[in-house]
């Protein structure tokens, strides 16, 4: 049975090392003290990673948007809140599908 780790390992072209612009943008995100809450301490202590700031930085550096199932919440520190703060387009999966004209 193929695991997600196996699948991802076979598709290295999907994943890249962040460039200088993306790294600088991640620094800007965590330069906002409130957004430091986005770092999940339990995940980090178990050796996990936090992709959220890198996804946002990639979108920002390429003039693209972010698709997420997270919702904007006042005083939140999730993807929609960070995107709004930095004026990066952010949409739900449903909004993305409508925008792209997907029909089922």
CB 59 within 8 Å of CB 29: no
Q: What is the share, in percent, of the chain residues with pLDDT greater than 70? A: 91
- Condensed to tens digits (0 to 9), the pLDDT of residues 50-62 reads 889 999 999 999 9
CA 14, CA 5: separation in Å to the nearest integer?
Answer: 13
The alpha carbon of 8 is separated from its chain's Cα centroid by a whole number of angstroms, namely 17
pLDDT digits (tens, 9 = 90+) for 55-101: 999 999 999 999 999 999 999 999 999 999 999 999 999 999 999 99
């Amino acid at each position: 049975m193929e695991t997600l780790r196996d699948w991802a390992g076979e598709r290295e072209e999907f994943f890249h090392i962040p460039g200088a612009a993306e790294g600088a943008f991640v620094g800007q995100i965590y330069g906002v003290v409130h957004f430091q809450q986005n770092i999940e301490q339990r995940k980090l202590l178990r050796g996990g990673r936090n992709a959220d700031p890198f996804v946002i930085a990639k979108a920002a550096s390429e003039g693209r948007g972010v698709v997420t199932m997270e919702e904007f919440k006042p005083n939140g520190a999730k993807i929609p809140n960070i995107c709004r703060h930095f004026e990066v387009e952010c949409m739900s999966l449903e909004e993305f599908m409508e925008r792209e004209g997907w029909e089922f």
